[in-house]
């Protein structure tokens, strides 16, 4: 079957660093996405990884290991506005660009 | 400004009534998608369309219908056959890039 696992909830402190993990088991793989979704709003694109390694984009970085079926999103210098749900999604190869979505990780940043 | 619009933001309907949710994009994207999101759940694909006049069922198509007569528009009809239609509905599109861009969503409540 196809499965994506993420922790349900995480809590962190303003100014700290937090790592959100995502593991996946899919029949094909054509890249992994991270999206941010604030409550009641639409998801917004954060990152896309298709090759192994770390991609850095400002305060946010995303890492991929295809052999381990594993990714993480790293958020540095946390701000209160980073409180949101973070969604991991895998693009299944040859599947007409359909995404397989995880349930999301709800991150609460406390002062 | 290019983007995806969904209207209305909030929609109330009586049980047994069909309702159509609007999705329009001016990004010139070929592919469009409809998702449903319930509390604590990930995004679930209802229907998607790769090109005008063509669409495919997603994972939870029962009780829904779509049309794709124009590239810009991909309306979703929630029919009375949908057993539990109250949810947050998200429309998305993508073009040459792989990431999907989302509209602001419509929150449908069936009374």
> What would the pLDDT profile of B56-75 be if each residue is shown by its tens digit?
999 999 999 999 999 999 99
For chain A, what percent of residues have pLDDT higher than 90? 84
Q: In this predicted structure, what is the pLDDT of residue B39?
A: 86
Q: Does residue B25 register a pLDDT over 70?
A: yes
The pLDDT score that the predictor gives to residue A54 is 97
Q: For residue A6, give Cα distances in angstroms to A20, A33, A94, B62, B71.
A: 8, 13, 24, 28, 35
pLDDT for A11 equals 97
Q: Do A87 and B42 touch (CB under 8 A)?
A: yes
* Residue B3 contacts A where some CB pair is shorter than 8 Å: no
Average pLDDT over residues B16-34: 94
Mutate to test the interface with A, among B42, B49, B97, B106 (most CBs of A within 10 A): B42
CB of A48 within 8 Å of any CB in chain B? Answer: yes
pLDDT tens-digit map of A58-109:
999 999 999 999 999 999 999 999 999 999 999 987 656 789 999 999 999 9
pLDDT digits (tens, 9 = 90+) for B3-14: 999 989 999 999
**Distance (Å, whole) CA A79 – CA A12:** 10
Mean pLDDT of chain A: 94
Q: Calculate how close chain B gets to A105, using CA atoms only, in Å.
A: 10
Nearest CA in chain B to A99: B45
Q: Checking DSSP bridges between strand B101-102 and strand B4-7, what pairing results, if any?
A: unpaired
CA–CA min distance A111, chain B (Å): 25
Give the model's pLDDT for residue A108.
98
Q: Enumerate the residues of chain A whose CB falls inside 8 A of the CB of residue B40.
A: 103
Q: Do A42 and B102 touch (CB under 8 A)?
A: yes
Confidence of residue B111 (pLDDT cuts 50, 70, 90): confident
Q: Per-residue pLDDT for B49 more than 90?
A: yes
User: Which of A29, A35, A97 to mutate: most B Cβ within 10 Å?
Assistant: A97
pLDDT of the residue at B44: 95
Give pLDDT, residue A96. 63
Inspect the interface and report whether the beta carbons of B42 and A104 lie closer than 8 Å. Answer: yes
What pLDDT is stored for residue A59 in this prediction? 97
Q: What is the pLDDT of residue A27?
A: 83
- DSSP state letter for A97: T
Q: Is the pLDDT of residue B38 over 90?
A: yes
**Cβ-defined contact of A98 to B48 (cutoff 8 Å):** yes
DSSP conformational letter for A9: E
pLDDT over 90 at B83, yes or no: no
| Position B34 pLDDT exceeds 80 | yes
A75-99 CB burial, b ≥16 within 10 A, e <16: beebeeebbbbbbbbbbbeeeebbb
Decide if B104 touches A, using CB distance below 8 A: yes
Residue B93 has pLDDT above 90, yes or no: yes
Block residue for tokens 């994009």: B25
Hey, is the C-beta of A87 within 8 angstroms of any chain B C-beta?
yes
């Amino acid at each position: 079957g196809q499965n994506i696992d993420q922790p349900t909830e995480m809590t962190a402190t303003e100014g700290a660093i937090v790592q959100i993990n995502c593991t996946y088991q899919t029949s094909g793989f054509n890249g992994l996405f991270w999206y941010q979704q604030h409550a009641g709003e639409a998801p917004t694109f954060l990152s896309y990884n298709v090759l192994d390694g770390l991609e850095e984009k400002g305060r946010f970085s995303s890492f991929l290991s295809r052999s381990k079926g594993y990714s993480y999103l790293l958020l540095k210098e946390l701000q209160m506005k980073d409180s949101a749900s973070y969604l991991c999604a895998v693009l299944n190869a040859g599947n007409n660009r359909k995404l397989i979505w995880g349930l999301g990780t709800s991150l609460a940043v406390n002062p | 400004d290019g983007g995806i619009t969904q209207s209305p933001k909030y929609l109330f309907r009586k049980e047994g009534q069909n309702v159509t949710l609007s999705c329009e994009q001016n990004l010139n994207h070929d592919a469009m998608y409809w998702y449903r999101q319930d509390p604590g759940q990930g995004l679930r694909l209802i229907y998607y369309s790769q090109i005008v006049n063509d669409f495919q069922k997603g994972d939870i198509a029962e009780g829904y219908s779509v049309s794709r007569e124009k590239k810009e528009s991909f309306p979703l009809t929630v029919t009375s056959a949908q057993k539990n239609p109250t949810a947050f509905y998200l429309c998305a599109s993508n073009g040459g890039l792989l990431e999907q861009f989302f509209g602001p969503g419509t929150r449908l409540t069936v009374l």
